[in-house]
């Protein structure tokens, strides 16, 4: 796997730190210690990666400084002169945070430098602030959680409620901090989402992104409301209608990925065809769970930075990026069973987020939104 | 490989698992293939694929097992998995009567949309929870007899009847399935040559 020094993009841009915590394994020597990442997700792939993590954190710290300077730059434009060192504290305080974010011009989302910063990773401590900003739900959050609370108290079709119930115990059940209370949070958010998005009800798979954001926002007091609005923004504006009743739109995108791979990863596409690997087998779980069930936490976070900033196009890039990172191994797999095992196992080991993002964004060739739209139209026509 | 069996007696057998979400399809497959069980088995998004080679009555079978997602929304994906299956194992949860109703719906769908050669096995899973039983053995057995299906109660948790269920499938298959085509044999031989794709189950 590509190490820290490999590419220009890597040395310049950084990633938040990961800490390894090991469970007390003294009771039974033969049992390997459980390794958690700093968010409490089980992370066996991090075992023995201390040096790599150290480098990773260094790059992250360097990249975070660029973010601080970026805030300073926009503040100065409004006549507010601050130093980069002050930025973290200013963002921490809700009042000054608002003022600082208001310094961004309305067109910020189209700015090249902003996009580049996001592609290098949003610093972990800024994600709870910048994800809602990118998702344009700040106004909703300012209104407080009355609406959310009302939805959680609204009646829900018992069938939908029991579908949610079925998944609660099965979602990230080996997370370090999983508890009846953490499950209740997931339950309430999914309940509110189901009430708000009647067409969707509950769709299996959605418990993963929901539980994931709740963990990432663990230190936020209004994390439930925030998670609710972030997921709503994805459903309403950033993704095609993935969670509808017949999964039509996700199936169309699955087919679109197949078409894109014929263009960008032709050898792999032929390999899959030869061994009768259905595209839904490759990427259904990636799409439905927006990668959080398949990728290591850090990689998922970096993908989600892009998801909030560049929307559904990024899903195809990341899917192809995963396939490209493991391209040679998958080509070496001689039958459907081996390919399936790799497709299941390898994404979980794609912990080098820099490599994944770099491959997905810079080594796939051009991927135009117009191409995706055209393929979507075509696949829609072929659907049924 | 060669010390195990004459390759000419290995038959490919495509098996699909159907049934409501949460009845234990993935758990049954993992119990059968890896002999493991997790109380927090992750829900299946889409489908998954596993294989296991077993020997029944001196014949080797390579089971190609397709495990599907049970939630209704995923239903439209499933026909491509049962279309040319040799066998469908339809699973319900003995503590949840509505999951048994779903079995009947699956049987209907297989009869109309599937291949007439696909044989059906009905698994009443979670029989370790018999104190909460909501579907009587007799009524499930009567229904299975009526449609000519195999019926067996299983527990992925305790492993009760799980190997038995899978081992009883070959006897149900029509003769056409067990007469393997020549080019299939090459594939099977190649696959079983690798040390870790050989699995237990032989006596
Ligand atoms: N007590 C008991 N629990 C079981 C048994 N089989 C499965 N379970 C539990 O039932 C739950 C659902 O099992 P799964 O195997 O995920 O069910 P599934 O049919 O694959 O569900 P989907 O993937 O959503 O379609 C899990 O919590 C399992 O641990 C069993 O035989 N006994
Ligand atoms: Mg399953």
Cβ–Cβ contact B22 with A under 8 A: yes
Residue A261 has pLDDT above 60, yes or no: yes
* Minimal-distance CA residue to ligand 1 atom 22: B21
Q: How far is B173 from chain A (nearest CA, A)?
A: 23
For residues A49 and A96, the answer to whether their CB atoms sit within 8 Å is no
Phi-psi region of A5 (alpha: psi -120 to 50; beta: other; left: phi over 0): alpha
Q: State both tokens at A45.
A: 């792939």
Q: Which ligand is nearest to the CA of B75?
A: 1
Pocket test for ligand 1, best of B17, B22, B158 (most atoms within 8 A of CB): B22
The reply to whether B45 falls in a domain is yes
Separation of alpha carbons B197 and B203, rounded Å? 18
Residues A169, B51: C-beta atoms closer than 8 Å: no
Mean pLDDT of the residues in chain B: 86
The DSSP call for residue B71 is S
Reference A120, options A16, A44, A246; nearest CA is: A16
Residue B145 belongs to what domain range?
6-191
Separation of alpha carbons B19 and B71, rounded Å? 9
Q: Can you tell me whether residue B17 is helix, strand or coil?
A: strand
Q: Which amino acids bring their CB within 6 angstroms of ligand 1?
A: B 19, 21-27, 39-41, 43-44, 69-70, 125-126, 128-129, 155-157
pTM metric for this prediction: 0.89
What CATH number does the domain containing B92 carry? Answer: 3.40.50.300
The reply to whether B203 falls in a domain is no
The mean-pLDDT minimum among A131-140, A142-151, A312-321, B170-179 falls in B170-179
Return the residue in A337, A338, A341, A342 with the most chain B beta carbons within 10 A, the one to mutate for interface testing. Answer: A337
For the domain A248-383, what is the CATH code?
1.10.472.80
Return the residue in B15, B41, B49, B96 with the most chain A beta carbons within 10 A, the one to mutate for interface testing. Answer: B49
Nearest CA in chain B to A199: B73
pLDDT of residue B176: 58
* Packed helices A297-310 and A313-325: angle between N→C axes, nearest 10 degrees: 150
Residue A12 has pLDDT above 60, yes or no: no
Please report which confidence band the pLDDT of residue A116 belongs to, taking 50, 70 and 90 as the band edges: very high
Domain A146-238, CATH 1.10.3720.10 — does that match?
no
Separation of alpha carbons B203 and B200, rounded Å? 9
- Residue listed under structure tokens 């469970």: A23
The reply to whether B73 falls in a domain is yes
Reference A119, options A321, A286, A375; nearest CA is: A321
The rounded Å distance from CA B156 to ligand 1 centre is 8
pLDDT digits (tens, 9 = 90+) for A215-225: 999 999 999 99
The CA–CA distances, whole Å, from A65 to A13, A133, A228, B92, B191 equal 10, 20, 30, 56, 53
* Atom of ligand 1 lying closest to residue B29 CA: 15
The DSSP bridge pattern shows strands B47-56 and B59-68 to be antiparallel
User: How large is the ipTM?
Assistant: 0.86
For residues A199 and A240, the answer to whether their CB atoms sit within 8 Å is no
The reply to whether B1 falls in a domain is no
The reply to whether B47 falls in a domain is yes
Residue A178 has pLDDT above 50, yes or no: yes
Task: Give B132's contacts (C-beta < 8 A, 6+ positions apart).
Answer: B95
A257, β-bridge pairs: none
Q: Which residues of A touch B47 (CB under 8 A)?
A: 280-281, 284
Give me Rg for the CA atoms of chain B. Answer: 16
Separation of alpha carbons A283 and A321, rounded Å? 12
pLDDT digits (tens, 9 = 90+) for B136-184: 999 999 999 999 999 999 999 999 999 999 999 999 998 755 554 434 4
CA dihedral sign, ordered B186, B191, B194, B198: negative
Dump the DSSP string for A46-81.
GTT-HHHHHHHHHHHHHHHHHHHHHHHHHHHHTT--
Q: Can you tell me whether residue A171 is helix, strand or coil?
A: coil
Task: Give A4's contacts (C-beta < 8 A, 6+ positions apart).
Answer: A10, A11, A52, A55, A56, A59, A354
The reply to whether B196 falls in a domain is no
Residue B104 exposed, middle or buried by CB count within 10 Å (0-12, 13-18, 19+)? middle
For residues B135 and B100, the answer to whether their CB atoms sit within 8 Å is yes
The rounded Å distance from CA B63 to ligand 1 centre is 21
CB-hemisphere CA count at 13 Å for A174?
Answer: 15
Q: State both tokens at A359.
A: 């491959």
Q: Where are the domains of chain A?
A: 3-51, 65-142, 146-238, 248-383
Q: Which ligand is nearest to the CA of B78?
A: 1
The reply to whether B65 falls in a domain is yes
Q: How far is A331 from chain B (nearest CA, A)?
A: 16
Separation of alpha carbons A321 and B201, rounded Å? 39
Q: How far is B24 from chain A (nearest CA, A)?
A: 12
pLDDT of residue A245: 84
Residue A28 has pLDDT above 70, yes or no: no
Please report which confidence band the pLDDT of residue B57 belongs to, taking 50, 70 and 90 as the band edges: confident
The DSSP call for residue B152 is E
- Please state the rounded mean pLDDT for residues A327-355: 96
The rounded Å distance from CA B105 to ligand 1 centre is 20
Please count the structural domains in chain B: 1
Q: State both tokens at A373.
A: 């739209």
């Amino acid at each position: 796997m590509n190490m820290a020094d490999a590419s220009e993009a890597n040395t310049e841009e950084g990633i938040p730190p990961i800490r390894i915590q090991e469970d007390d394994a003294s009771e039974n020597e033969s049992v390997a210690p459980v390794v958690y990442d700093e968010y409490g997700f089980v992370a066996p792939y991090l075992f023995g990666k201390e040096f790599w993590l150290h480098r990773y954190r260094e790059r992250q710290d360097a990249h975070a400084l660029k973010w601080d300077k970026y805030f300073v730059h926009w503040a100065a434009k409004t006549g507010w002169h601050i130093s980069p060192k002050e930025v973290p504290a200013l963002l921490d305080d809700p009042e000054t945070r608002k003022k600082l974010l208001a310094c961004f011009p309305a067109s910020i989302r189209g700015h090249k430098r902003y996009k580049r910063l996001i592609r290098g990773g949003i610093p972990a401590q800024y994600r709870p602030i910048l994800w809602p900003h990118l998702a344009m739900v700040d106004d909703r959050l300012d209104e407080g959680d009355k609406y959310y609370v009302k939805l959680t108290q609204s009646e829900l079709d018992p069938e939908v409620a029991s579908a949610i119930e079925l998944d609660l115990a099965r979602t990230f059940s080996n997370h370090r901090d999983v508890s009846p209370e953490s499950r209740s949070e997931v339950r309430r958010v999914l309940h509110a989402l189901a009430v708000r998005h009647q067409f969707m009800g509950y769709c299996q798979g959605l418990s993963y992104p929901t539980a994931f954001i709740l963990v990432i926002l663990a230190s936020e007091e209004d994390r439930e409301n925030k998670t609710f609005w972030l997921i709503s923004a994805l459903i309403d504006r950033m993704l095609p209608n993935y969670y509808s009743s017949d999964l039509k739109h996700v199936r169309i995108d699955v087919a679109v990925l197949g078409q894109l791979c014929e263009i960008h990863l032709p050898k792999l596409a032929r390999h899959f065809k030869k061994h009768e690997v259905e595209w839904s087998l490759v990427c259904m779980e990636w799409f439905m769970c927006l990668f959080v069930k398949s990728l290591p936490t850090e990689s998922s976070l970096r993908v989600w930075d892009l998801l909030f900033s560049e929307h559904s196009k990024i899903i195809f890039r990341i899917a192809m990026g995963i396939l490209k990172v493991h391209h040679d191994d998958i080509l070496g797999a001689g039958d459907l069973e081996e390919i399936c095992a790799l497709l299941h196992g390898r994404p979980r080991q794609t912990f080098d987020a820099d490599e994944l993002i770099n491959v997905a964004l810079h080594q796939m060739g051009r991927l135009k939104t117009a191409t995706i739209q055209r393929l979507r139209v075509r696949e829609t026509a072929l659907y049924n | 490989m060669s010390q195990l069996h004459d390759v000419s007696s290995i038959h490919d057998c495509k098996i699909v698992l159907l049934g409501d979400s949460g009845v234990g399809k993935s758990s049954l497959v993992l119990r059968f293939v890896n002999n493991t069980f997790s109380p927090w088995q992750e829900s299946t998004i889409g489908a998954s694929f596993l294989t296991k080679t077993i020997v029944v009555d001196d014949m080797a079978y390579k089971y190609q097992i397709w495990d599907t997602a049970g939630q209704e929304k995923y239903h439209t994906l499933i026909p491509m998995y049962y279309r040319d299956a040799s066998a469908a194992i339809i699973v319900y949860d003995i503590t949840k009567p509505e999951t048994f109703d779903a079995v009947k719906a699956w049987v209907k769908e297989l009869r109309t949309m599937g291949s007439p050669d696909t044989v059906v096995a009905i698994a009443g899973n979670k029989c370790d929870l018999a104190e909460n039983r909501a579907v009587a053995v007799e009524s499930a057995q009567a229904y299975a007899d009526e449609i000519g299906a195999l019926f067996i109660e299983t527990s992925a948790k305790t492993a009760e009847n799980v190997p038995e269920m899978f081992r009883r499938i070959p006897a149900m298959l029509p003769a056409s399935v067990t007469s393997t085509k020549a080019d299939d044999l090459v594939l099977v031989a190649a696959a079983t040559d690798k040390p870790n794709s050989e699995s237990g189950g032989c006596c």
